[in-house]
Every structure is written in structure tokens, then in C-alpha cells.
Amino acid sequence: MIVRGIVGSPNSQGRSAELVQLALQGAKDIGADVEAIFLSDHDLKPCSDCTDLRCHDEGRCIFSDDLPKLSEKIDTSDGLIVASPVYWSDVSNSTRTLFSKKIRMRTQKTNGLPALGMLVAGGSGNGCTEAMRPMYLFFEKLRFRTISSFPVTRYNYTQARDYSYKGGKKIAEMAKNRSKLDPVALQLLNNDLRYRNYSRIDERRLIARLIVDNFEPSTLDERKIKKEWTTEMGRMKNLFSRDQKAEAILILDRIIMEGEKRFA
Ligand SMILES: Cc1cc2nc3c(=O)[nH]c(=O)nc-3n(C[C@H](O)[C@H](O)[C@H](O)COP(=O)(O)O)c2cc1C
């Protein structure tokens, strides 16, 4: 059994790389062989949306690149982990390129293959759930048995490390009993994936919640700030329930702006 982890960040020492290594360690502890694949070590030409469809018919792009090699690695895995940094609320360009090209190849070899995606935001945290969409879509198109992703931000990075390790373990466990998904099961699975249907405001609420929950005050002043944020979160919730969105959004903006400074 082999579980592979794809790192979609150009930074081989960064957070995406660290979370993939942790997930692979989890899989290894269940008895899997593991391999990390760094997209930045591969030559992947952007998809030109051509109508040649050589990728579909012959398994290679009209531009000579590492697509066949990467595709083979994915198809022969028993479990897959993909981590991409969040760039402008999306996956990285190399990750997106792999996704588009692999989807276009339309190979049917990944049906039921367990998969976990991780989206690693760093700055504002914006896009930590929005960027899950292209990841989830990739897994859906290739009929993976996807498990829910989780938002990775600098506010919850300690938990994210733990989730990654446990996620890797889960993928390796699932790989032992791989079974195909029929079209209905595939739709149901993908409909229920966590954060998939989050709106922009849902995401902002989540980021603010992560800030408030994970802020550990060490001075009296900081304790006061945390208490104030907690009260404001309650007020924000009330405002949303009364459809007073504009005022509620201003509260979220303030907490997120202040939080960014506190977690710098
Ligand atoms: C071009 C670019 C766009 C980015 N866009 C976002 C963003 O939309 N939201 C966010 O929270 N962080 C953003 N970041 C920060 C990265 O998500 C963050 O540095 C991440 O941890 C990088 O992952 P890595 O350590 O694996 O390279 C961006 C960084 C770059 C270089």
C-alpha cells in the first residue's frame, strides 16, 4: 500500500510541505509506504485548453512535460494527500495546472481512492474555505473517496498539524478497504463535504471564530481584548439573525483586522 502526498507550494520548507509530511507520517504509522511529491520539482506546462485532446487519447500533453509521470503516480496510489497554499483565495498555479490537466485526461483509475486536501492560508486567512472548491472539484471529477478538508490558517496551525497527522492515518485506514463509488454515492459524498458550500460571509465568520478561540492572552490587557471579542461575536451573531448584515460585517472586519496583528 502506498500513500502519496503532493505539495503544491514552491516552498519546500513551508507549511504545505510540513502538513504533507505529517499526514504521510500518519499513514506510515498505519503501515503504508509513503512518498512526497513536490510539484516545483516537476515540469508542468499550463493547460492551453486545446482541442487536440492528446492528453485524453495518449495520456500526454501536446507540450512535452511531466504530466504522464505525475498522472501515473496518482493512478497507482492507494491513498492521496494534496496540500496547496492559498493564493488569492484559490489553489496555487502549479496545483491548478495539475488539476486541469489530470481531469482532462479522463482516466478512470482513481474511483474510490481515498483523498484528503489541505488548503494552507497564511496572510489574512481569506480563501481558506473558498480554495477548497477547486480541490474538492478535482477529487469529485476523478471520483475519489474524499474526506472533509479543514481550514488551515496561522490562527489554528497547531490544530492543523494534528488534523494532518490524523487525516493521513485515516486515509491509510480507508486504503485498506477501497471500494468504488457509484454515481449516486459520489454525488451524496460530495454534497456533504464540510465547508464546500460556505459563502464569503461564512468564511469571514469562521476566520473570526478561529481568531477568538485560539488567542491565548498573557496579559491583563489581552484578557480584556479576548473578552471584548467574545462579546462582539455574540453581538455579530444577533445582528446576522436579524438580517442586519452591514453592521455584523463591520464587527467581523474589526476582529479580523485586530486578530491579524495579534497573531503576527
Ligand atoms: C501570490 C500569493 C497570494 C496569496 N494569497 C493569499 C490569500 O488569498 N489568503 C491568505 O490567507 N494568504 C495568502 N497568501 C499567503 C500564503 O497562503 C501563505 O504564505 C501560505 O502559508 C504559503 O504556504 P507555504 O508555506 O506552503 O508556501 C498568498 C501568498 C502569495 C505568495
CATH of the domain at 142: 3.40.50.360
| Choice from 9, 84, 86 to test ligand 1 binding pocket (greatest atom count within 8 A of CB) | 86
Same domain, yes or no: 52 and 144 = yes
Q: How far is the CA of 121 from the centre of ligand 1 (A)?
A: 5
Last residue of a domain, one of 168, 191, 214: 191
pLDDT score recorded for residue 35: 98
**Which residue lies with its CA nearest to atom 7 of ligand 1?**
88
Last residue of a domain, one of 139, 160, 191: 191
Q: Cβ(151)–Cβ(129) under 8 Å?
A: yes
The ligand 1 atom nearest the CA atom of 153: 11
Same domain, yes or no: 47 and 162 = yes
When pLDDT is cut at 50, 70 and 90, the band that residue 123 belongs to is confident
**Which residue lies with its CA nearest to atom 31 of ligand 1?**
87
Same domain, yes or no: 225 and 132 = no
Same domain, yes or no: 24 and 107 = yes
Same domain, yes or no: 124 and 21 = yes
Same domain, yes or no: 23 and 60 = yes
Q: Cβ(79)–Cβ(35) under 8 Å?
A: no
**Which residue lies with its CA nearest to atom 8 of ligand 1?**
88
Same domain, yes or no: 91 and 218 = no
Same domain, yes or no: 141 and 64 = yes
Same domain, yes or no: 152 and 241 = no
Query: What total number of domains does the chain contain?
Result: 2
Same domain, yes or no: 102 and 119 = yes
Report pLDDT digits (tens) over 64-111: 999 999 999 999 999 999 999 999 999 999 999 999 999 999 888 999
Domain extent for 9: 2-191
Q: Cβ(154)–Cβ(122) under 8 Å?
A: yes
pLDDT score recorded for residue 1: 97
Closest alpha carbon to 88 in 56, 121, 61, 115 = 121
Segment 17-20 long-range contacts (CB within 8 Å, at least 24 positions apart): 17/83, 18/161, 19/83, 19/118, 19/120, 19/152, 19/160, 19/161, 19/164, 20/81, 20/83, 20/118, 20/164
**Radius of gyration (C-alpha) of the chain in whole angstroms:** 20
Same domain, yes or no: 47 and 73 = yes
Q: Stretch 151-165: mean pLDDT, rounded?
A: 95
When pLDDT is cut at 50, 70 and 90, the band that residue 55 belongs to is confident
Q: Stretch 126-146: mean pLDDT, rounded?
A: 96
| Choice from 19, 20, 88 to test ligand 1 binding pocket (greatest atom count within 8 A of CB) | 88
Same domain, yes or no: 180 and 219 = no
Mean pLDDT, the chain, rounded, equals 95
**Which residue lies with its CA nearest to atom 3 of ligand 1?**
87
- In DSSP terms, 37 is beta-bridged to 6
Last residue of a domain, one of 166, 191, 216: 191
